């Protein structure tokens, strides 16, 4: 599944914009502004792709460090972590294998006390919203957790809940600290929410 280089939602154009962000740009109302090239050698599409990748990596690092601070064992899981550079090689490639690789969750985490293990997929959304339509079609990891980083909050929802029609929106109470499956210190999560605000306030 291709992701919008601006907001991360579904788009059929790999490295491009979804219809909402594309229309917003035409209307001058795009939710996410991408820095101009300043005469760089990058095309606008490539620049948007890189910008989206950087935002995603920041969100992933934030969640990785959060769970490490909570005492969890954290393992990077996605194929891009096993084979460095593979996501670049798969850019624009359309095949079942390529799509399966792209849909692999970002992390496997383990609670050191209960020994429970979970798949974690990290997403960034400037608007703080995530629903079933944002999930890859036929997403195979139905037991995974989506951890959503926004400019204000860190929220969490399971893929099963998304498939049931539940969603994360700006006023929902899907806070990571409220998940009973995770043994978390809410004060630590609050500190990482402050980090998210600092990193993404201008996004």
pLDDT confidence of residue 30: 43
Interstrand relation of 117-124 and 145-149 (parallel, antiparallel or unpaired): parallel
Q: Would 136 be classed as within a structural domain?
A: yes
89 is in which domain, residue-wise? 56-200
Percent of all residues in the chain with a pLDDT value above 70, rounded to a whole number: 67
Q: Would 180 be classed as within a structural domain?
A: yes
End-to-end CA, the chain: 23
- Model confidence at 93: pLDDT above 60: no
Q: Would 2 be classed as within a structural domain?
A: no
Quickly tell me which residue has 């909050």 as its tokens: 153
| Phi-psi domain of 188 (left: phi exceeds 0; alpha: psi -120 through 50; beta: other) | alpha
Q: Would 42 be classed as within a structural domain?
A: no
What's the average model confidence in pLDDT over 92-106? Answer: 68
pLDDT confidence of residue 85: 58
Spatial neighbors of 188 by CB under 8 A, at least 6 apart, are 66, 69, 70
Rounded to whole angstroms, the Cα distance separating 148 from 66 reads 13
The structural domain count of the chain equals 1
Band (pLDDT 50/70/90 cuts) for residue 147 is: very high
pLDDT confidence of residue 42: 75
Residue 202 has which token pair? 């201008």
CATH number of the domain within which 65 lies = 3.40.1350
Query: Does the pTM exceed 0.75?
Result: no
Q: Would 39 be classed as within a structural domain?
A: no
Q: Over the stretch 32-90, which tens digit does the pLDDT of each residue have? A: 455 555 555 778 877 777 777 788 889 999 999 999 999 999 998 866 655 555 555 55
Q: Would 179 be classed as within a structural domain?
A: yes
CB contact at 8 A, 154 and 196: yes
Rounded to whole angstroms, the Cα distance separating 164 from 41 reads 45
Which range of 4-8, 44-48, 111-115 scores highest in mean pLDDT? It is 111-115
Band (pLDDT 50/70/90 cuts) for residue 31 is: very low
Q: Would 46 be classed as within a structural domain?
A: no
Q: Would 14 be classed as within a structural domain?
A: no
Per-residue DSSP letter, 80: H
Band (pLDDT 50/70/90 cuts) for residue 156 is: very high
């Amino acid at each position: 599944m291709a992701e919008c280089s601006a907001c991360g939602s579904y788009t059929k154009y790999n490295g491009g914009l979804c219809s909402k962000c594309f229309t917003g740009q035409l209307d001058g109302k795009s939710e996410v502004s991408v820095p101009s090239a300043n005469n760089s050698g990058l095309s606008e599409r490539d620049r948007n792709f890189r910008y989206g990748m950087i935002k995603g990596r920041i969100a992933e690092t934030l969640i990785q460090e959060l769970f490490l601070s909570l005492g969890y064992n954290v393992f990077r899981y996605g194929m891009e972590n096993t084979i460095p550079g593979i996501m670049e090689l798969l850019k624009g490639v359309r095949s079942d294998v390529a799509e399966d690789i792209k849909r692999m969750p970002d992390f496997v985490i383990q609670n050191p006390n209960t020994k429970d293990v979970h798949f974690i997929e990290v997403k960034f959304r400037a608007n703080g919203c995530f629903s079933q339509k944002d999930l890859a079609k036929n997403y195979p990891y139905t037991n995974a957790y989506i951890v959503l980083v926004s400019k204000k909050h860190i929220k969490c929802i399971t893929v099963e809940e998304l498939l049931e029609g539940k969603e994360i929106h700006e006023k929902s109470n899907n806070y990571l600290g409220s998940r009973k499956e995770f043994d978390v210190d809410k004060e630590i999560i609050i500190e990482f929410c402050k980090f998210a605000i600092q990193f993404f306030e201008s996004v």
